[in-house]
Amino acid sequence: MTLSFPLLINSLIQSSPGPLEIFAAHGHGRSFCQWSYVLHRGLPPVSDCEIWQSLREHPTVTQTWGLVTDVGNDLIYGRTVDEVFHNVEVVFEHLAELQAAMTFVRLPLERILMLSEFRYRVVKQMLFPGPTVPWAVISQRVIELDERVAALATSLNARVLTPRVTWYGIDPIHIRQSQRLAAWREILQSWSFPFEPVVSWPSPHTSLRLWRSPPAKRSYWKQTYDASQPSWSTSRGTSLWQY
Domain boundaries, the chain: 5-223
Residues 6+ positions from 170 with CB-CB distance below 8 Å: none
Percent of the chain topping pLDDT 90 = 79
CA–CA gap between residue 207 and residue 25 (Å, rounded):
17
pLDDT in tens, 87-142: 999 999 999 999 999 999 999 999 999 988 988 888 788 777 677 888 999 999 99
Q: Which residue(s) pair with 220 in the sheet?
A: 41, 223
pLDDT in tens, 198-219: 999 999 999 999 999 999 999 9
pLDDT, residue 129, reads: 67
Amino acid at 139: S
CA–CA gap between residue 103 and residue 184 (Å, rounded):
12
The listed CATH number (1.20.950, 1.10.10, 3.30.70, 3.40.50) that belongs to domain 5-223: 3.40.50
Asked whether the whole model's pTM tops 0.95, one would answer no
pLDDT in tens, 147-179: 999 999 999 999 999 999 999 998 888 999 999
Mean model confidence pLDDT for the chain: 93
Nearest to 114 by CA among 126, 104, 127, 123: 123
pLDDT, residue 17, reads: 86
